[in-house]
Each structure stands twice: as structure tokens, then as C-alpha cells.
Amino acid sequence: MEKIGFIGLGIMGKPMAMNLIKAGYSLIVYDIRSGPVKEVVAAGAKEAKSSSDVASQSEVVITMLPNSPDMKKAVLGENGVLEGAKAGMILIDMSSIAPLVSKEVAAEALKRGVEMLDAPVSGGEPKAKDGTLSIMVGGKKEVFEKVEDILKVMGASAVLVGDIGSGNTTKLANQIIVALNIAAMSEAMVLATKAGVDPERVYQAIRGGLAGSTVLNAKVPLVLDGNFKPGFRIELHIKDLANALDTAHEIGVPVPLASGVMEVMQALKVDGKAGDDHGGIIQFYEKLAKVEVRRQKS
């Protein structure tokens, strides 16, 4: 079994690491916070002192970090992955970052004989826990094939979509669709509720038709309970949309709907809701319409 290093044990990273341990992989882990490290070590992982320490003991290193600067620091910075990496190591960055940063870091890694894949995920905390994430991968086919079994422990699917950076481009496309789905659901459910129709019945009536979606099934039940505990925080979706807008504008793609939802999320951030789940986008519409979409008490 390969020795796998795992850096970044947050909402997503911790359950992903746990699934690798359950599958029998030998794991060496690091995070700047000691709490999640202790939990994963209790499940059978070994603790490392730094990202460099992780790399020095690993054949494959997985990074799962919040944004481009965090990933660059963990890999290229002092005591970073490349300081400890041996030639032949494979770096799988599963963070959602800017595609250009993936390309930049991959080029630096290659100078040390380290191959890199960018492999962001979709599915949020529930799918991270049950190992059914969708994983979109950019990089060389032969490198992908070497680690495909590892990825399949964490995801129901792992698809090679193109060269390095294309995994994150695919994730940006995914995040536009998810954000717009949640906004559309929000507008529709607020309309139905204010019109006096039970939102739970509206959901049951439309979920099997063309308006049905994974987003609808994942988010409406939580909204009905007023549960905005983060599976994926609004502030992280803002980060993804910022990367999407930057990339779109660089290559000449107008994205008016994504820009509109970005402003909705910015308004929620100002309202102190940046740490809420992105299903909490509905609160923007609820506030404007002066109605809450909640389960009706029988």
C-alpha cells in the first residue's frame, strides 16, 4: 500500500482522510489546527510536524485547503511539500483554487521531479463523509491512472477532464451551476410561501419533474428546518465565484447570472452570514419578501 500524506483536515478533508484510513491506507497527516489532527490520529493516522515532514514520508501527498494562497504556501512555502518531496512523488491537490495557480504550482513541482494533479471535488460534507464525491481531475493520464484507486475511495466518480488546471476549470463551471440552482430554488420557494402555499408540498410536487435536481433534494429539507449549519460556507462559494468571474473575464466569457448571484452572496456576507451554508442564500430573498420558508407545524 502506498504511504499517503494528507494536508488540510477541515470540513471536507477530515472525512476524506478517514475514508482512506478505513480503506487500509497508511496515512501521515498535518493541519495547522491540532483538534482535527488528534481525531484522525486516533483513527489510525500518523502525525507530521509540517507539510515538508508529510512529503518526506509519502509517495502520494493530498492537499485539501481553503484557497489558492493556502495551497501555494503549503506546497511552495517554507517547510512546504516541495521541501520534503522526493522525485517520483505525486501531489494531488483537491482544493478548489484558480486554474492558473494549479498550473503555476505544477510547473514548480515538476522541477523537483514531482507530478501533480488538480482534483477538486463536488458534493459537500455529506458526500465527503460517505465517500461519494464527484472528483474532476486535470493532469497526465498516466499519473491519474496510478492514483485512480485512491481517488475512488473518496469519490463515487473520478473523471480525468484534461491537462493540469482543467480540474479546477471544471469545478468553477460546477460552482456556477450550483450557485444558480440555489438562487433559483430560493426565488421559487419564497414566491410559493408568500403566496400561501405550503413550501414542503411545493417541493414534493416539483422534485420529480424537470425542476428537480440534486441541489433541490439536498437544500430544501435543510431550509424547511431553518438549518444553515455549514456543509459548504457562503464565504467559500464567494471565493469560488470570484475565481470563476476572474477566469471568465480573462478569456472573454460574459457571466451575467453568476455575477448576479455573487452580489446576493456579498449582501449576505455584509449581513453577517458568510459562515452559513450556501443553502442560506435563500435568506437574502426571505429578507426582501418578509417571509420565511419553513416547515409548517401540523
Give pLDDT tens digits for 130-169: 999 999 999 999 999 999 999 999 999 999 999 999 999 9
CATH of the domain at 203: 1.10.1040.10
CATH of the domain at 155: 3.40.50.720
Q: Where are the beta strands (DSSP E) in 164-268?
A: none
Q: Is 297 within a domain?
A: no
In this predicted structure, what is the pLDDT of residue 1?
Answer: 56
User: 42 and 123, same structural domain?
Assistant: yes
Whole-model pTM: value is 0.91
User: 64 and 20, same structural domain?
Assistant: yes
Q: Which of 129, 2, 88 is nearest to 28 (CA)?
A: 2
> Active-site residue numbers?
171
In this predicted structure, what is the pLDDT of residue 276?
Answer: 98
Instruction: Please enumerate in sequence order all residues whose Cβ is within 8 A of that of 234, keeping only pairs 6 or more positions apart, or say none.
Output: 265, 268, 269, 273, 274, 275, 276, 277, 278, 280, 281
**Domain total in the chain:** 2
**249-252, Cβ contacts within 8 angstroms, sequence gap of 24 or more:** none
Q: Is 263 within a domain?
A: yes
Q: Is 219 within a domain?
A: yes
In this predicted structure, what is the pLDDT of residue 298?
Answer: 67
- What averages of pLDDT result for each successive group of 10 residues across the chain (298 residues)? 91 97 97 96 98 98 95 97 98 96 97 98 92 98 98 98 98 97 98 98 98 96 97 93 95 98 98 98 98 90
In this predicted structure, what is the pLDDT of residue 59?
Answer: 97
Torsion of CA 70, 73, 75, 76, to 10 degrees: 150
User: 25 and 48, same structural domain?
Assistant: yes
- Spatial contact of 81 and 74, defined as CB atoms under 8 Å apart: yes
Give the Cβ contact number of residue 195 at 10 Å.
9
In this predicted structure, what is the pLDDT of residue 297?
Answer: 80
